[in-house]
Structure 1
Amino acid sequence: MSFRVQRAIAPLAFALLASQPLLAAPAPTPAGATGFRLGTLQLFALRDMDNVVPNDGSVFGVGVPKPEVSKVLQQAHAPTDRISLSVDALLVRMPGHVVLLDTGLGPKIGGSLMASLAAAHVRPEDVTDILITHSHGDHVGGLATRDGALAFPKATIRMSATEWSYMQAKGSKALVETIRAKVQPFKPGAEVVPGITSVPLPGHTPGHSGYEIRSGNARLLDIGDSAHSSIISLARPDWTIEYDGNGAQGRANRKALLAKLAADHERIFAPHFPYPGVGFVEKTGEGSYRWAPALPR
């Protein structure tokens, strides 16, 4: 099931998401835990919620005539009146660590992350490390329970130092205070846990980070919110997305990242691409790409 949030997830403040009026009552997204191997590691893509935004020029293709956006959707055999996005997270099991990358919208919004974790046979107290790509509500909302307590009481919460400063200035003050004692900021590019290295990808937020996971010769990059729509963000990475705090920097980062991913044929996890969000970016033309979903065999 899907829900639509007017103006969807705001780019500048965590609290704005929860305060947005719903255009339709949200229905719970079924739990999902899709397991796959990366080298010797066990990973799970975890469902949290689905989100649908209107194709009205307010989010995707800002400043672009609506027929041009509709044409891109039509060419991909997708509905032209709306853009569907997933809200997902990634779990990595490794010796000594159970690592969760982002936490979804959280129980106050109706996220299914906890049920998806249970489907992967993981309890909240099992999680040792939480890696945050950035501090928007659909990535940090699940850090707290419905009553405002720590959702993962034994986990160290890691995000870039720049993003932690940004969250303290722009995010939910209640959530900041809840997690403050558990946060360990890192410098961009640091190895945050053994085998997982942060990748600075600014533009969406000042300290937005991806995470590259390696096991032997196998690797996978969690791209965070460098790209949102598996159709529009790839076909036209030069278009502005309203979610990006710095539109010009967001476009530049997206174009450079997609070009590198296509050239290197590196597998990615994209939390807003169709669940389970694992696959490759393939070049289709000069500055344009397409999504090729593919779980490791």
Structure 2
Amino acid sequence: MIQISRRALLGAAAATLAAPALVTTAVTEARAAAPFRNDLPPAWYRFKLGSYELTIISDGRLPLGKPEPAFPASPPEEIRNLLTGSFLDPASATLEQNALVLNTGRQLILFDTGMGESMGAASQMFGPTTGKLLANMKAAGIDPAQIDMVVLTHAHCDHCWALVDAEGRRNFPNAQVAVSETDLRFWTDDANKKGPDFMVPFIDGAKKNLSAYRDRMVMVQDGKEVAPGVTAFATPGHTMGHMVYFISDGNKTVVNTGDLAHHQVLLLKKPLWEFAFDTDPKLSAQSRLRMLTRLAADKHPVISYHFPWPGLGHVARAGEGFEWYAEPMNLTTL
């Protein structure tokens, strides 16, 4: 039999009681010395559609500021109520910029380019948080020289100004550029430098970026394939040549809607509201309502350029408008 003395038992008990105090002292004396990190991680998101691989690439956030000027015909109180009802800041609206890279196994296709740096100070008209596409493409393992085609939903600054760099050199040296002929003509015509102040830099920027690819342009046509598996559908109004693209492989389809709707709350719940950057606001509203109705009926997943990152989700009917349902980020296939 093992004999344990009374003195040993008392010593063990004293050591047990003292241990928590020692641990507490050690934790209390620890101090975090790491600096805050204010930089953002690379933003890209990859998933499968049938045999295709799709990668959504962020060009960064595009702050609109106070939302009322962007929706000049809408009641300010209703704007505020809709935003606060969705837990969004009613004093500051922010849009994302979700470009798409499609790998069909035969072609590598980029849809829209983001803001870029081609127009110097004008490239930061919405602040310094845009122009991240090329860096994020690199982080996603995609070389701009591998892009076979850049397909534009339209020729606004945040969709085509990264076709070239500040010196006018092509950022996608081996790519064709696909755009509607209507947009190509309109946004490279100096006669259209009238109306809102933004028209001058928008046209100058489109001319600089599109002219660099003038020997390799592809004219997009309504209802026709721009590449195998990619079909364009006209949704005029935001620009007169604005297109959405149905991307299909087998029985799987995802729809890249570009700027069909800029805000996931305001222009879905109120699809007939007018947006200040529309060329023809009333026509844009009708195109939006028509296509959103189709998307809700077809139940195809949607990639929206300006909806919350990564802009992937579904549109569903909700009363006289629509509701946005974001796709869970952990899915690998659609």
TM-score tier after normalising by the smaller chain length: 0.7 to 0.9
Mapped pair 1:49 → 2:82:
no
Aligned residue type for 2:78: E
User: What is the CA distance between 1:167 and its match in structure 2?
Assistant: 2.3
Q: CA deviation at 1:260?
A: 1.4
Tell me the CA shift for residue 85 of structure 1.
0.4
Letter in 2 for 1:130: V
Residue 83 of structure 1 aligns with which residue?
93
Q: Deviations over 1:257-282 (max 9, x none)?
A: 11111121111110100110011012
Q: Which moved more, 1:171-180 or 1:196-205?
A: 171-180
Q: Secondary structure at the match of 2:94?
A: strand
RCO comparison, higher one (Cα < 8 Å, 6+):
1
Determine the structure 2 residue equivalent to 1:68: 78
- Select the residue among 141, 145, 154 that pairs with 1:121: 141
Instruction: Return the offset for 1:33.
Output: 1.2
Kindly tell me the number of residue pairs found equivalent between the two proteins. 269
Residues 254 and 104 of structure 1, relative CA distance in 2, 3 Å threshold: same
Please, what is the CA RMSD of the aligned residues? 1.7
Q: Which has the higher Rg, Structure 1 or Structure 2? A: 2
1:137 paired with 2:157, answer yes
Instruction: Work out the CA distance in 2 between the residues paired with 1:87 and 1:241.
Output: 17
Equivalents in 1 of 2:280, 2:104: separation in Å? Answer: 35
Query: How does 1:1-297 map onto structure 2 within 5 Å?
Result: 30-60=41-71, 62-108=72-118, 109=123, 111-169=131-189, 170=192, 171-172=203-204, 173-285=207-319, 287-294=320-327, 296=331, 297=333
Aligned residues of 2:176 and 2:213 also touching (Cα < 8 A): no
Structure 1, unmatched stretches of 5+, are 1-26
In the TM superposition, what whole-angstrom CA distance separates every residue of 1:152-198 from its partner, at most 9, and x where no partner exists?
Answer: 00001011121211222152232232221221213222201100011
Between stretches 176-185 and 246-255, larger displacement belongs to 176-185
Query: TM-score, normalised to structure 2's length?
Result: 0.77
Deviation at 1:56, TM superposition (A): 4.8
- The alignment-based identity, stated in percent, is 29
Counterpart code for 1:114: L
- After superposition, the C-alpha distances for 1:129-172 in whole angstroms (9 at most, x for unaligned) are 11000000000011001321111000010111212112221522
Equivalents in 1 of 2:77, 2:65: separation in Å?
Answer: 13
- Please give the alpha-carbon distance, in whole angstroms, between the structure 1 residues aligned to 2:282 and 2:74: 15
SS at match of 1:58: helix
SS at match of 1:73: helix
- The one-character-per-residue Cα deviations of 1:56-109 (angstroms, maximum 9, x if unpaired) are 52102x222211100011111111112110012000001220000000001343
Asked if 2 retains the 8 angstrom alpha-carbon contact of 1:29 and 1:112, the reply is: no
1:28–1:49 CA contact under 8 A, matched in 2: no
Corresponding residue for residue 8 of structure 2:
none
Greater CA deviation, 34-43 or 111-120? Answer: 111-120
